[in-house]
Amino acid sequence: MKAADSSGISFTALYTGAVWHRYGLSDEALATEQGRWLYHLMTPFEVGSKTLIGGNIRTFLLQRHLIIDHLIERALERGVTQVLEIACGMSPRGIRLREKHPHLHMVEADLPDMATQKTARLLTSGRLGDHHQVMPIDILAESGEQTLEAVFARAFDSKEPVVVVTEGLTSYFSLPVISEFWKRLAALLQQRPGSVYLSESYLMPNQPLLRGALKCLGGLLSTVTRSDVSFHFLDDQQAAEHFRGCGFPSVAVHNPVEFYGRLPIPESRHDPMVRVIEARI
């Protein structure tokens, strides 16, 4: 299968990283000038979206990020000691987890260009070592050292359970393409009972005007990122059934509403579009 081009999706990764930094979730080592510029550029759009539909990209980014963090902590409480974050970009999660859990084995992975950038920034801040690594990965690759299977083999030398996170990745692929990745991941995690996969998904809203606007936005984002931005599911049940069909026997689809008042996440005026998938082996 043709290798993915990292440059387009990296553009959105820099914006996401700037959001984490702006809201006090990131580290100065991961702040980029491009991200700051994108943050200011997007502010008028974000303000308008919040006013019109009661939520915006930043709202959904913060909801998913903090809920995933909460679910990671639950897994660590059950004894998991290994975390793999695929499409890590400028995510500060590895830094925060290692500071809170010094014995955690943290592996971050991304396409080669982004992995190189992340490695340089973490090296400069003295954060890389035997238990905090960055590796190149191409989730579409079917052979070679950057396949999902090869990264697992290098990253984890035992069959102990692992938490795998993909945040801000899966919506850039059509459902048939990303489903092949999910099936391969499920097969790997089945060799490590107790493992957990955490990701997010966006539901296509029912309101015709909002649905049309989002389809236009998705088309624009597809062009900018040279990908296939997709809304995969219509409702929570459809999402859960699809993940079970990919090989995950236990699937929970979390609505951010469940965490209002429990986690410091922003609230949407209406039902949030984002969901967090917790698929367990």
Q: What's the domain count of the chain?
A: 1
Look at residue 34 and tell me if it is in a domain: yes
Look at residue 115 and tell me if it is in a domain: yes
SS3 202: strand
Look at residue 230 and tell me if it is in a domain: yes
Look at residue 274 and tell me if it is in a domain: yes
Look at residue 97 and tell me if it is in a domain: yes
Look at residue 1 and tell me if it is in a domain: no
pLDDT tops 60 at residue 204: yes
Q: How far is CA 4 from CA 7, 13, 111, in A?
A: 9, 15, 8
Give CA–CA dist 172/231, Å, rounded.
9
SS3 275: strand
Give CA–CA dist 264/69, Å, rounded.
12
pLDDT tops 70 at residue 157: yes
SS3 134: strand
- For residue 42, the enclosing domain spans 6-280
Look at residue 29 and tell me if it is in a domain: yes
Q: In CATH, what number is assigned to the domain containing residue 76? A: 3.40.50.150
pTM score > 0.85 for this model? yes
Which two three-digit tokens encode residue 47? 């303000």
Per residue in 45-89, pLDDT tens?
655 556 555 557 788 899 999 999 999 999 999 999 999 999 999
Look at residue 77 and tell me if it is in a domain: yes
Find where tokens 């950057």 sit.
Answer: 146
Tell me the average pLDDT of the chain: 85
Q: First vs last Cα of the chain: how many Å apart? A: 28
What is the rounded radius of gyration, in angstroms, for the C-alpha atoms of the chain? 18
> Which residues, including other chains, have CB under 8 Å from residue 40's CB and lie 6 or more apart?
none
Distance of CA 47 to the CA centre of its chain: 24
